[in-house]
């Protein structure tokens, strides 16, 4: 247990000196571009559109009458422009290149007049979106007010929980029922959000229903500063001082559809709600002083939730709803007050009881019928979560105490992993396990060194090291892990501690400079993978980390850049192979990356690639559909995605399923490319880039994503019309 030296009874006096509502207002700091700031968000935000140029067709909704229009185009950065014109009878006005996105994101197009107008947005001749009078494509398909409301509509269809009081009533907090037990504990979650947590946990022994309610307290001493999330907050929570009350997080484990009479209506799922200090339900909040994020992603980022775009009817996907879980309460990582009644040892029995509830929820999820397409689709592999919670108490939930030094079986020292326990105790246990143990699907293939389908849960040293290159990138170069700001700050508080231990274990010499571990914030150039293209080709370095300036060069004067200082120049060159070099800079230095582009005028035109004609055949020819199917004999029960042309259990068509697994911001980081080309794929390495055929398939998929990942014309697989 870590106990801050200033915790104690004296904090009550300090709290009394912090007066006025202005003390509780947290103003987000204006951060330099070289400061990591991607917390409580997923690495792939699933942008609506890729960077590039789009055409806009404008015409009558009926396709007949002549008319005129006045449109307002609004971009993610707030820029707006007006498009005006007219179309003739039976035709459309085509605005070629009307929309230009400097990076992946979204936009809105809205008709400003009373004219009924059909709008069609196209990329490389393919429809990517359409609408009558408006097209609304969010910056991210998994974080918006619309997405949050769709989530609440799914978990609370009767709007019985739109205030905190109604949520408490619905979950039985006011019932005089001997089957209901309520437990109360107070602590500071030092490695999560830094709040003083005033937690009430309800369990109904008859129904198995659980409900966790957490009132959050922040003593804001300096606007926008991390000191606001310090040890004063636990005593603010104990005193219940409303001046420092930020709001309430509520989580319940209850039937997915309590009003349903279907056989699956009583299947319990974990539901998340956020309320402001007045008890009103929120679709978004600024949890860490680093900007507003939306529900449920800002919670699910640490609770194992799998965010997926809404279905074609704007509804939340069922497989996504089932994915989130409770976190084990990390008793050793919390901080406590010295006020009597709130010491750790005085609350150990209550923590044990609450963690027994977490264990029970895992067992319920583990028991789901994996052969049931509706419920087993994408089923979570709960074994490691159960090993952790059982191990922390030596399996004794009657009188056991939380074991701070517990080491899971896969992390114990042995041949080839002599320092595994140190790595777990100093790095993985406190900074990674809480979130990663809630990842991973039951349908993964055999657990072996050659097939690490469940490596994402970090349940062993071997699995953790299977992601060593990604870990080095996410932690040291991108600065996006650990994913919560307080955990990130704690991890980097002593660079010679956890960061150096991890860097040494990863055995990557680039993580050290002059004997010191490299901290995130330095610029990292990212051009992408070497590939074969036709000229001209749009280059894209917007995935570079912390870059302020860009400079391109080439191995031959035959290569011409439209703007060698742009993140996205157009490159023109005759047939041949060229080494391209990108240098990016910021206040902390510079970084250079080189790749080889082979220009082949006889090769496939990357701008003409479609999912229908080019990508789907690759998925089929590489045996992807032998496992990723609910009907083929070789299919794995519980697999989370189908690549065969069938509508999955949530009613989602093939193309929409593919889009959830590509990253338009950083194409090489797409799961559609990462999984089948690595040993962490549950079905083995299916696309081997060391072979000519594998490299060709990889190149085709990569070029397709970089050109906007357009679908084609087949509506049966989900192509936009």
Residue 509: phi and psi, rounded to 5, are: -65, -20
Structure tokens at 270: 């974990």
> H helices of 557-623, where?
616-621
Q: What is the pLDDT of residue 265?
A: 55
608/140 Cα distance (integer angstroms): 25
- Asked if 134 contacts 115 with a C-beta cutoff of 8 angstroms, the reply is no
In contact, 403 and 396? CB cutoff 8 Å: no
Q: What is the pLDDT of residue 439?
A: 95
Q: What angle do CA 149, 154, 155 make, to 5 degrees?
A: 100
What backbone torsions phi and psi does residue 268 show, to the nearest 5 degrees?
A: -80, 140
Crossing angle for the helix pair 383-392 and 344-366, to the nearest 10 degrees: 160
Angle between helices 485-492 and 498-506 (to 10 degrees): 80
Q: What pLDDT score was predicted for residue 191?
A: 86
pTM attached to this predicted model: 0.92
The domain defined by 52-137 folds into Lipoxygenase-1 (2.60.60)
So what's the pLDDT on residue 20?
Answer: 31
Question: What would the two tokens of residue 353 be?
Answer: 């009881």
Q: Which pLDDT value is given to residue 258?
A: 77
CATH of 531-599, one of 2.60.40.10, 1.10.3720.10, 3.40.50.300, 2.40.40.20: 2.60.40.10
User: CA 54 to CA 22: how far, in whole Å?
Assistant: 47
Q: What is the band of 445 on the pLDDT scale with cuts at 50, 70, 90?
A: low
DSSP 3-state percent helix, strand, coil across the chain (nearest 5): 30, 25, 50
What does each C-alpha distance from 338 to 184, 231, 332 come to in angstroms? 17, 11, 16
Distance CA(621)–CA(615), nearest Å, equals: 10
Q: Are 136 and 108 in contact (CB under 8 A)?
A: yes
Contact 680, 452 (CB under 8 A): yes
Q: How far apart are CA 105 and CA 102, in angstroms?
A: 9
- Quick one: which of 330, 457, 347 has its CA closest to 403? 330
Average confidence score pLDDT of the chain:
90
pLDDT single digits (tens) 457-484: 999 999 999 999 999 999 999 999 999 9
Q: How would you classify the pairing of strands 293-294 and 284-285?
A: antiparallel
What is the distance between the alpha carbons of residues 249 and 246, in angstroms, rounded to a whole number?
10
In this structure, of 252-261, 457-466, 500-509, the range with the lowest mean pLDDT score is 252-261
Going by pLDDT thresholds of 50, 70 and 90, the confidence category of residue 643 is confident
Tokens of 168: 């408490």
Please determine, for residue 12, whether its predicted confidence score (pLDDT) is greater than 60: no
Give the Cα separation of 678 and 666 in Å (integer). Answer: 18
Give the pLDDT of residue 447. 65
Write down the pLDDT at residue 7: 36
> Is pLDDT of 333 > 60?
yes
Separation of CA 426 from chain center: 25
CB atoms within 10 A of CB 170: 17
**Strand-strand pairing, 117-123 and 589-599:** unpaired
Kindly report the number of other CB atoms within 10 A of residue 691's CB atom: 10
Task: Indicate if the pLDDT at residue 605 is higher than 80.
Answer: yes
**What are residue 201's phi and psi, to 5 degrees?**
-120, 125
Q: Are the CB atoms for 544 and 522 separated by under 8 Å?
A: no
What is the SS3 assignment for 549?
strand
User: Of 143-147, 328-332, 545-549, 626-630, which gets the smallest average pLDDT?
Assistant: 626-630
User: Could you tell me the residue ranges of all domains in the chain?
Assistant: 10-26+143-340, 52-137, 407-507, 531-599, 606-717
Contact between residue 85 and residue 69 where contact means Cβ atoms under 8 Å apart: yes
Mean of the pLDDT values across residues 348-359? 98
Token pair 């409303």 in the structure block, residue: 242
Q: For residue 442, what pLDDT is reported?
A: 87
Nearest-angstrom CA–CA distance, 322 and 154: 11
Across the range 5-21, mean pLDDT stands at 34
Identify the pLDDT of residue 641.
Answer: 86
Q: Tell me how crowded residue 509 is: count the other CB atoms within 10 A of its CB.
A: 8
**H/E stretch holding 154:** helix 145-155
Q: Using a pLDDT cut of 90, give the percent of the chain over it.
A: 77
Phi, psi (degrees; rounded to nearest 5) at 115: -65, 140
Q: Which residues contact 235 (CB under 8 A, 6 or more apart)?
A: 7, 11, 12, 15, 196, 337, 339
DSSP codes, 59-126: EETTS-S-EEEEEEEEETTS-EEEEEEEE-TT-EEEEEEEEEESSSB-EEEEE-SS--EEEEEEETTE
Chain-centre distance of CA 307, in angstroms? 7
pLDDT bin (cut points 50, 70, 90) of residue 58 is: very high
How large a percentage of the chain has pLDDT more than 70? 92
If one compares 52 and 621, the residue with the highest pLDDT of the two is: 52
β pairing state of 537-538 and 570-572: antiparallel
Q: What would the mean pLDDT of 586-606 be, rounded to a whole number?
A: 95
**Contact between 686 and 623 (Cβ < 8 Å):** yes
Can you read off the two tokens belonging to residue 660? Answer: 């959830």
The gap from C-alpha 164 to its chain's centroid, in whole angstroms, comes to: 27
Q: Which of 22-31, 239-248, 381-390 has the lowest mean pLDDT?
A: 22-31
Task: Assess whether pLDDT exceeds 70 at residue 577.
Answer: yes
If one counts every other C-beta atom within 10 angstroms of the C-beta of residue 181, the result is 13
pLDDT in tens, 406-424: 999 999 999 999 999 999 9
Supply the pLDDT for residue 30. 67
Which pLDDT score, from 0 to 100, does residue 289 have?
86
The answer on pLDDT for 373 being more than 80 is no
pLDDT value at residue 13: 32
* pLDDT in the model for residue 638: 78
Query: CA 238, CA 185: separation in Å to the nearest integer?
Result: 9
pLDDT, tens digit, 9 for 90 and up, residues 35-50: 999 999 999 999 999 9
Q: How far is CA 640 from CA 103, 226, 648, in A?
A: 29, 38, 10
Q: Which of 76-90, 270-284, 491-505 has the lowest mean pLDDT?
A: 76-90
Run of H or E including 271: strand 268-276
Q: Is residue 80 classed exposed, middle or buried when 0-12, 13-18 and 19+ CB atoms within 10 A define those classes?
A: exposed
Calpha distance 235→241 (Å, rounded): 9
Residue 144 is encoded by which pair of tokens? 């918006």
H or E stretch at 581: strand 576-586
Cα 21 off chain centre by: 34
Average pLDDT score over residue span 600-613: 94
CA distance 586 to 34: 7
Q: Looking at residue 233, what is its pLDDT?
A: 93
CA dist 348 and 516 (Å) reads: 40
> Would strands 512-513 and 126-132 be described as parallel, antiparallel, or unpaired?
unpaired
- pLDDT of res. 626: 82
């Amino acid at each position: 247990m870590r106990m801050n030296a200033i915790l104690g009874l004296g904090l009550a006096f300090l709290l009394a000196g912090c007066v006025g509502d202005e003390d509780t207002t947290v103003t987000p700091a204006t951060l330099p571009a070289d400061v990591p700031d991607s917390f409580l968000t997923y690495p792939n935000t699933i942008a609506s559109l890729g960077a590039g140029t789009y055409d806009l067709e404008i015409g009558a909704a009926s396709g007949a009458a002549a008319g005129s229009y006045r449109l307002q185009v609004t971009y993610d950065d707030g820029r707006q422009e007006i498009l005006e014109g007219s179309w003739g009878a039976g035709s459309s006005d085509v605005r070629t290149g009307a929309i230009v996105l400097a990076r992946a994101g979204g936009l809105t197009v809205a008709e400003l007049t009373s004219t009924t107008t059909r709008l069609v947005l196209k990329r490389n001749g393919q429809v990517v979106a359409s609408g009558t009078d408006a097209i609304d494509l969010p910056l991210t398909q998994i974080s918006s007010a619309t997405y949050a409301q769709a989530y609440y509509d799914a978990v609370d269809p009767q709007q019985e929980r739109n205030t905190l009081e109604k949520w408490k009533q619905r979950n039985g907090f006011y019932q005089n029922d001997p089957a209901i037990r309520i437990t109360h504990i107070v602590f500071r979650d030092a490695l999560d959000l830094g709040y003083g947590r005033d937690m009430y946990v309800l369990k109904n022994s008859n129904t198995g229903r659980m409900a966790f309610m957490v009132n959050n307290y922040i003593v804001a001493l300096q606007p926008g500063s991390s000191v606001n999330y310090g040890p004063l907050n636990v005593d603010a929570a104990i005193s219940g001082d409303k001046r420092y009350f930020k709001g309430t997080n509520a989580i319940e484990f209850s039937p997915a559809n309590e009003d349903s009479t279907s056989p699956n209506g009583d299947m319990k799922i974990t539901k998340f709600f956020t309320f402001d200090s007045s008890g009103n339900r929120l679709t978004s909040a600024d949890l860490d002083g680093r900007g507003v994020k939306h529900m449920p992603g800002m919670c699910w980022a640490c609770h194992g939730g799998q965010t997926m775009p809404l279905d074609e009817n704007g509804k939340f996907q069922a497989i996504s709803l089932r994915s989130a879980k409770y976190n084990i309460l990390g008793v050793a990582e919390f901080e406590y007050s010295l006020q009597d009644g709130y010491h750790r040892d005085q609350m150990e029995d209550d923590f044990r009881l609450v963690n027994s509830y977490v264990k029970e929820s895992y067992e319920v999820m583990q028991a789901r019928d994996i052969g049931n397409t509706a419920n087993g689709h994408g089923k979570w592999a709960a074994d490691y979560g159960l090993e952790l919670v059982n191990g922390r108490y030596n399996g004794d939930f009657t009188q056991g105490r939380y074991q701070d030094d517990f080491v899971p079986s896969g992390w114990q020292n042995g041949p080839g992993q002599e320092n595994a326990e140190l790595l777990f105790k100093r790095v993985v246990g406190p900074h990674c396990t809480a979130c990663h143990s809630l990842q991973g699907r039951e349908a993964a293939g055999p657990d072996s060194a050659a097939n690490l389908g469940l490596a994402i849960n970090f349940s062993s040293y071997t699995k953790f090291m299977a992601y060593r290159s990604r870990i080095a990138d996410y932690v040291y170069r991108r600065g996006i892990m650990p994913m919560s700001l307080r955990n990130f700050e704690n991890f980097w508080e002593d660079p010679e501690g956890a960061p150096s231990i991890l860097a040494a274990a990863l055995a990557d010499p680039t993580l050290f400079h002059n004997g010191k571990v490299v901290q995130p914030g330095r610029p990292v150039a990212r051009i992408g993978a070497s590939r074969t293209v036709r000229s001209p080709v749009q280059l894209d370095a917007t995935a570079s980390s912390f870059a302020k300036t860009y400079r391109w060069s080439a191995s031959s004067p035959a290569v011409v850049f439209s703007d060698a200082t742009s993140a996205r120049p157009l490159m023109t060159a005759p047939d041949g192979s060229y080494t391209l070099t990108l240098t990016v800079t910021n206040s902390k230095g510079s970084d250079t990356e080189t790749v080889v582009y082979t220009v082949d005028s006889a090769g496939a035109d990357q701008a003409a690639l479609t999912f229908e004609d080019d990508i789907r055949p690759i998925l089929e020819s590489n045996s992807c559909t032998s496992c990723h199917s609910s009907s083929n004999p070789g299919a794995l029960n519980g697999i989370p995605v189908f690549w065969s042309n069938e509508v999955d259990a949530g009613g989602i068509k093939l193309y929409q399923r593919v889009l959830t697994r590509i990253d338009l911001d950083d194409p090489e980081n797409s799961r559609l490319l990462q999984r089948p080309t690595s040993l962490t794929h549950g079905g083995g390495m299916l696309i081997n880039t060391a072979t000519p055929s594998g490299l060709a398939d990889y190149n085709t998929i990569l070029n397709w994503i970089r050109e906007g990942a357009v679908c084609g014309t087949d509506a049966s697989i989900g192509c936009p019309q």
